[in-house]
Amino acid sequence: MASVTMKNVCKIYPNDGYEIKGVSDFNLEIKDGEVIVLVGPSGCGKTSTLFMLAGLEEISQGEVYFDGRLINDVHPKDRSVALVFHNFALFPYMTAFENIAFGLRPTDMSDYEIKGRVYEVAKVLDIVHLLDRKPKKLSGGQKQRVALGRALVRKNGVVCLDEPLSNLDAKLRASMRVELLKLHKKFDTTFVYVTHDQAEAMTIADRIVVMKDGFIQQVGTPEELYYHPANIFVAGFIGAPQMNFGNVKVIEQNGDIFLDLGEIKLKLPENKADKASAYIGKDIIAGIRPEYIYALGTDDIGGFSEPHLEIIDAEVQVKEFLGDRTYLYCESAGVPLTCAVTAMSDFTVKSGDKIKLGINRNKIHLFDKTTELAID
């Protein structure tokens, strides 16, 4: 295993007489045996960061340490880093055995030792029966296991994974996420994992690094990012369907603080009102996740009362049935709202139905409209 420290790391690309910063002021401490996932949209700098760790990209500025040792100028083969590519990158003319053993050949290990190491890893990956096959005889999931075996067989301190599941179908991708976690526990290796899939990041990571335009937006556990996003970008990127956002005005009436959406006014609970009080008379951005907007029914529910819920009228625009849950894309007073409903056996709606929605006031997130930072 290895700990990794990145201090003020930048990646600068020359481009026709001027420079483009692909990664800016990247600072991160990775603990021994931790699974760190870099996530963000295409072009955010996550793969460039991974390749700087692995030595495939030159570090333009800043410092990178493995276990306290500066490795900026250390050759990739001497960094104790393994890399798994998103396209597997297997040698087509080699068997699975030879692909896995490839990184061991330049060492002083004997053929007997290499064979033992390969079979040890193949047994954990459940591919012993595939070792004599060439890649063209392997399925996508089997190729991915061989690629992982090649990375793990050297028992490197850090394993870098560049979107390793992106070429697999959805069902296999889900099962391989679980397998990756099992492998991490067995090998107890530091993983640095790149993906654009936030669901993948939430499943695999000990901590997630959310990136945008080369900058770190937030670092935290999946739970921290989901429940306490630092800004609008993180709030919208983490979670599916994404958080509902709306431009609102903060107003005060009879000592209470409300969010004014025009025809809809939401009274804020005390803890939220304290935070919003500095913005009275100003516009801010409010957000709430779909699972905290409850579909209450199509009938009159005038007698329904829950102190934490704001009841509003809405019309269903689109219904998306996914089996264990249903997403309702609604509109209320011109405001689009997505709500997530589970176990709908006793509650059926269709497009065009008028329904009642209950907004959980305790779960509203508030963001500064100018800085887009969370209002704490």
Per-residue pLDDT reduced to its tens digit, 307-347: 678 888 888 999 888 877 888 999 988 889 999 887 655 66
pLDDT tens string 27-74: 999 999 899 999 999 889 999 999 999 999 999 999 999 988 999 999
Class of domain 4-237: alpha beta
User: Quick check: 184 pLDDT over 70?
Assistant: yes
User: Quick check: 200 pLDDT over 50?
Assistant: yes
Give the mean model confidence (pLDDT) for residues 185-200. Answer: 86
Task: Indicate the burial class of 129 (C-beta count within 10 angstroms; 0-12, 13-18, 19 or more).
Answer: exposed
- Whole-number pLDDT of residue 303: 47
The residue with tokens 């709908």 is 344
Helix (H) or strand (E) holding 99: helix 96-101
The CA distance from 128 to 131, in Å, is 6
- Does the fold of domain 244-368 match that of domain 4-237? no
Tokens of 198: 């936030």
pLDDT tens string 233-282: 999 999 888 999 999 999 998 888 989 888 788 889 888 888 898 899 99
| Fold that domain 244-368 belongs to in CATH | OB fold (Dihydrolipoamide Acetyltransferase, E2P) (2.40.50)
Q: In one letter, which amino acid is 254?
A: N
pTM of the model: 0.87
The CA distance from 376 to 366, in Å, is 8
- Whole-number pLDDT of residue 29: 95
Minimal CA–CA distance to 140: which of 164, 162, 121? 164
Minimal CA–CA distance to 353: which of 298, 312, 296? 298
- Whole-number pLDDT of residue 297: 66
- Whole-number pLDDT of residue 269: 87
| Structural domain boundaries in the chain | 4-237, 244-368
Confidence label for 298 from pLDDT (cuts 50, 70 and 90)? low
